Amino acid sequence: MLRVDGTVRFSGKKERRVNTQATSNSGRTEINWGNTIGLFVFHAGAVTALFMFEWQAFIVAAALYWLTIGCGIGMGYHRLLTHRGYDVPKPVEYFMAVCGALTLEGGPITWVATHRIHHQKSDQEGDPHSPNDGGWWSHAGWIFMREPSHTRTEWIKRYAPDLSKDRFYVWLNKYHYVPMIPLGLILLAVGGLPMMLWGVCMRVVLGLHSTWLVNSAAHIWGSRRFATTDDSRNNWWVALLTFGEGWHNNHHAHPTSARHGLRWYEFDLTWLQIRFLEVLGLVKAVQVPKLDFSSMPSRESIHSKAA
């Protein structure tokens, strides 16, 4: 049985751990060479972009960063597809999913299944990216050792059965890199190599590291408003980089909430976007917890590590 808070329970059966790391037959961790080579190429492209700076290319990259990270990952993959914090018409949902695919963080089914496992086993054995296994591992190491998508059919179906029944998501999950091809060609045709390098390589690399910081930094540095069973923290600078995803302790305490920045001083652009679409009538059934902050400790008294 799937629960929208990211956990999965099976009636009448004992839950067993799903190994999300790639291991050989002998049990040793194997490098995912596809991911490793791809990341090397994109990082090399991002470095090259620094020597081909143009303001037009920079502005296009910034706009695409917001569209893919803010709308694609924050609004789409995370708060909508993973946790169902709100509802939108299918065409809007599919558009957000395509924007998410343009980050090259993987297909929607794989991303959602991985994140639901993270919530179920957060900072415990079985968490695919916990700092308890090392800061570098939680940030990017797990990607270099990640199992190829086509070999993870069993746990994908277990943790994302809702998306696995949708033909569009099945196709996009298998060919999540395809939308990047026409985008790259368009950028190359419009602005030449500089715009392609900034709009694709630089934008993708910055987006990847920003998202990975939620897995690493937001479980190491910051404040804790809620006494969750994991090490999630509210980290203001990660929130700025990810349009609100850095209010991670808030999120782990209330995973189905469409709003992560729960106080006025916790800037959450993704939440503002959801509210804007709600005003336009495109968003329905928005989930937000009702909290009494007057009974909670002050910000200063809940810091255990400096952000």
Using alpha carbons, select from 164, 179, 235, 232 the residue that is nearest to residue 64: 179
* Residue 16 within a domain: no
d(CA 213, CA 207): 10
Of 6-20, 28-42, 201-215, the range with the lowest mean pLDDT is: 6-20
Q: Give pLDDT, residue 294.
A: 66
Taking the C-alpha atoms of residue 278 and residue 15, their distance in angstroms, rounded to an integer, is 38
Looking at the domain assignment, is residue 269 inside a domain? yes
pLDDT for the residue numbered 147: 66
Q: From CA 104, how far away is CA 13, in angstroms rounded?
A: 35
User: Mean pLDDT across the stretch 226-253?
Assistant: 97
| pLDDT tops 70 at residue 9 | no
**Residue 79 DSSP symbol:** I
Residue 152 pLDDT level (bands cut at 50, 70, 90): low
pLDDT at position 155: 78
CA–CA separation, 75 and 243 (whole Å): 10
93 located within any domain: yes
The DSSP 8-state label assigned to residue 61 in this structure reads H
For the entire predicted model, the pTM comes to 0.86
Residue in 235, 236, 287, 231 with CA at minimum distance from that of residue 258:
287
Angle of helix 108-120 relative to helix 90-101, nearest 10 degrees, comes to: 90
Residue 7 scores a pLDDT above 50: no
Task: Give the model confidence (pLDDT) of 247-280 as tens digits.
Answer: 999 999 999 999 999 999 999 999 999 999 999 9
Residue numbers of the domain that contains 204: 35-291
Whether 9 maps to a domain, the answer reads: no
Average pLDDT estimate for 101-113: 96
Structure token pair of residue 8: 């999965």
Instruction: Give the mean pLDDT of 117-126.
Output: 94
Q: Given this model, what pLDDT does residue 157 score?
A: 81
Judge whether 8 and 1 are in contact, CB under 8 Å: yes
286, 274 contact by CB (below 8 A): yes
Residue whose pair of structure tokens reads 């569009």 in the numeric block: 168
In-domain check, residue 210: yes
Count of domains in the chain? 1
Residue 110's pLDDT band (cuts 50, 70, 90): very high
Of the listed ranges 2-11, 38-47, 227-236, 251-260, the one predicted with least confidence: 2-11
Residue 13 falls inside a structural domain: no
Rounded to an integer, the average pLDDT of 80-85 is: 98
One-letter amino acid for residue 158 of the chain: R
Q: Indicate whether 17 pLDDT > 70.
A: no
pLDDT over 70, % of the chain: 83
Assigned domain for 62 exists? yes
Phi, psi values for residue 98, rounded to 5°: -65, -40
**Residue 166: C-alpha distances to residues 6, 169, 172 (Å):** 18, 5, 10
CA distances from 240 to 18, 211, 262, 267 (A): 33, 11, 15, 8
**Average pLDDT, integer, range 160-181:** 96
Supply 11's token pair.
């009636």
**Residue % of the chain over a pLDDT of 90:** 79
In the predicted structure, residue 306 carries a pLDDT above the cut 80: no
Rounded to an integer, the average pLDDT of 53-63 is 98
- Domain-located, residue 29: no
